[in-house]
A and B are shown apart, each in its own frame.
Chain A
Amino acid sequence: MIGIISYLVFFATVASILSIAVLGLNLQWGNTGLFNGGVVAFFGAGAYGTLILGGTPQAGQLGGFGLPYLLALLGGMTCAGLVAWIVGLLTIRLRHDYLAIATFGVAVAFETVMRNTDALGGAQGIRGFERPLRETLGNGFTYNLAFFVFVLILLIATYLFLERLIQSPFGRLLRAIREDETAAQSLGKSPSRVRLTSFVAGSVIMGLAGGLYATFYAFISPQDVLPILTFQIWAMLIVGGAGNNKGAVMGTFLIWAAWTASGWALSRFAPLEVQLYTGSIQFVLIGFVIVGMLLWRPQGLFPEKLVVSQSAKNKSRLSNT
């Protein structure tokens, strides 16, 4: 019994961390229409930043500054924000698929740089990170539970922040730019500045997710920032429903559950001779889920709710009565 709870806590922690990244992407794609194809670059910048700032010194490697954990995490988010700001300045005038290709290139470049820079861990990655409060909480279930609560608080905070943001005038501006940039510009708004703000904000949120991920595993290597992660995060957003924060979170839990549960079920119930092929079968199953979703419910499980504005909502309520 304790095993099941322990695993569920573990699962929920990973899913919550990924949810935060998906929320970041939802701000960029769902609300602003920025096709970020390089989610892992910002996720990775947060992860590497956190471990470099908060880790213990390693021979021949940059970092090991041993900063207090929260500072390290903030530093990781800042790293992600800086990378996003530079990338954003260079690419923000690109639209749709062009932006996707450019950011995808940035993500591949990020992974290659990490793989080849010995001072940043090289292909062996960065280890030697002391998880915060490890001494007090021990190393077992209590620790995982406490960390889960910490992640959950951050997930709720991010969710509430984004909910407020998209209901604010700024949120309306984001959607205006997404729908018709020229129209927004004609009203005296500066689309490129707003797009950059949204891009950086979303990336900082992804950086937060990356920092938490690296903390949880106490390790990060280039293998963690392969393009498959970008694909997974996109799949979560598409299944959940782009433009809806609740959908983003639900989509993450659903896809990650499908990913892990299918592996578990296949290992348990598939006949022995099929066991060796479970990995491939799993890819096919998940592919089916995503294709089926796109065919029968392209708007996602939780479609975006279209609210023009608070005052318009009130007005329509008045005229109805």
Chain B
Amino acid sequence: MNGLKTSALALGLAAGFASFGTDAAAQVCTTKIGAVLPTSVDWGKPIAATAQYAVDIANETGGVAGCQIEMVLRDTQVDPKVGVDAAKALVDLDGVQLLLGAVSSGVSMPILTSVTVPAGVMQMSCCSSSTAFTRLAEEGKTNGLFYRTFATSGVQAAVGAMVARDAGYESVAVFYKNDDWGQDIGGLVADDLKALGIDVTASIAINDAQASYRAEVTEALKGNPDAIYMALYPKEGTQVVREWISLGGTQNMIAANALKSDEFKENVGMQFLGNFTGTDTASPRTDSADAFVEAYTARFDGPPNGPGLANSYDATMIALMAMHAAGKDATGADIAAKVASITDPNGTPVTADTAGFAKAKELLDGGGTVSYQGATGNVQFDKNGDVSAPAVTWVFSEGGIEEQKYLTLTEVNDFMASLN
């Protein structure tokens, strides 16, 4: 038994030396964190890979609170039952105090109400956008344990409406994906457009995986709008745009960030996308955001163009920094309480890379606070755990995706306030 222990220790140390070089000497403990993400879905895999990437960065700096981090990844299969079971297993069997996930609000919500809140585990979602979380937090039922780095749909909807106003469109038809995200943003953008005096000729739900959207497109054509707004994913978006243009619809198009994909551009064709404007909440204006794009490109052989990647990265980084601040063997509530000192606007700015993580650890150890400058910008949570974020508009070009205009946090907030 003793021999076994010693050799296991020796093996562990050897592995530590091999991969972490000089920092490894102090590394003998491992802290587990959980991740429940839809890895069986094509767009879910990169989100999980990005989270693991952030964990690797933390480990390169010597880990969190003196321990290496092991991310135990479980698949949700986008099935609430499976996701909740995975979360429960992570909390009970692996004893995690920090859970990353899920993507779909319909999975994140039951995990929150039946696993993480009862167990006092902190939950950080990269990608759930439903306004239901805000309401739950307002009722005080999240116990401050829930955070998300995905700005509520309000920001994008407002910027979408602003694009329509600036382009001088007088009437807009709205297509939205028929799920919680799409219904949310579709409803919000319609309200915002009306508030700006723009006519909303139709709001049309697009169900997944239909062979044709001719009926929906024809319905939208009836109102003869100046432009269309799309809160759709690339697959359905491609089909809707193809049918829309082939039936003689306008090429004036505004879209939410889910269409920010090379696949969409290639499948529709650049010649039809001249008047296309997209919106996004990411704000690559800080050095650390550029560094993220560069580092990501170097690591994954391509730029981070899928949905939720920058959010997943920031979610993991912030959570791990908070975990470090909370110290060894911290509970979920301890970690959640420390998030504010990571995203403190008056704190010392740190970048979202290895150097930034190491610097943040140093500052936090000294009792200071940091202002995390992440891949989605200068992240700040409100009292409900929601983020507001600066916004950008972007267009497709021959070379790929180009940013058009940058709206600072203040500009976004002022504009949103003017709508109400």
**Is B92's CB under 8 angstroms from A3's CB?**
yes
Binding site for A on B (CB under 8 A): 38-41, 45, 48-49, 52, 72-75, 77-82, 84-86, 88-89, 91-93, 95, 104-107, 109-110, 113-114, 117-119, 130-132, 136, 139, 178-180, 182-184, 205, 207
A159 to chain B, nearest CB (A): 22
From B49, B93, B178, B180, give the contact of A7 (CB < 8 A).
Answer: B93
**Is B110's CB under 8 angstroms from A123's CB?**
no
Cβ-based interface call for A33 (8 A) = no
Contacts of B114 in A (CB 8 A): 216-219
Cβ-based interface call for A10 (8 A) = yes
Contacts of A69 in B (CB 8 A): none
Give A268 to B109 CA distance when docked, in angstroms.
25
Contacts of B205 in A (CB 8 A): 116
- Known contacts: A124-B130, A279-B77, A283-B40. The answer to whether A140 contacts B110 by CB under 8 A is no
B100 to chain A, nearest CB (A): 14
B79 to chain A: closest residue by CB:
A228
Contacts of B131 in A (CB 8 A): 124
- Known contacts: A222-B106, A263-B75, A275-B73. The answer to whether A124 contacts B180 by CB under 8 A is yes
A274 to chain B, nearest CB (A): 11
Q: Is the interface of B mostly helix, strand, loop or mixed?
A: helix
Chain A, residues 158-200, CB within 8 Å of chain B (1/0): the string is 0000000000000000000000000000000000000000000
Binding site for B on A (CB under 8 A): 3-4, 6-7, 10-11, 14, 112, 115-116, 122-125, 127-128, 139-140, 143, 216-219, 221-224, 226, 228-229, 259-260, 263-264, 267-268, 272, 275-280, 282-283
**Is A279's CB under 8 angstroms from B132's CB?**
no
Give A222 to B80 CA distance when docked, in angstroms.
10
Contacts of A218 in B (CB 8 A): 110, 113-114
B41 to chain A: closest residue by CB:
A279
Contacts of B77 in A (CB 8 A): 279, 282-283
**Is B178's CB under 8 angstroms from A217's CB?**
no
Contacts of A14 in B (CB 8 A): 81, 85
Residue pairs across A and B with Cβ atoms less than 8 A apart, 17 shown, are: A4-B92, A112-B207, A116-B178, A122-B183, A123-B178, A123-B180, A124-B106, A124-B132, A124-B183, A125-B132, A127-B132, A217-B84, A219-B114, A222-B106, A276-B48, A279-B38, A279-B41
Give A185 to B38 CA distance when docked, in angstroms.
51
Max chain B Cβ within 10 angstroms of own Cβ: one of A11, A124, A272, A278: A124
**Is A219's CB under 8 angstroms from B113's CB?**
yes
B76 to chain A: closest residue by CB:
A279
Give A10 to B90 CA distance when docked, in angstroms.
12
**Is A280's CB under 8 angstroms from B40's CB?**
yes
B181 to chain A: closest residue by CB:
A123
A120 to chain B, nearest CB (A): 13
Contacts of A276 in B (CB 8 A): 39, 45, 48-49, 73
**Is A264's CB under 8 angstroms from B40's CB?**
no
B205 to chain A: closest residue by CB:
A116
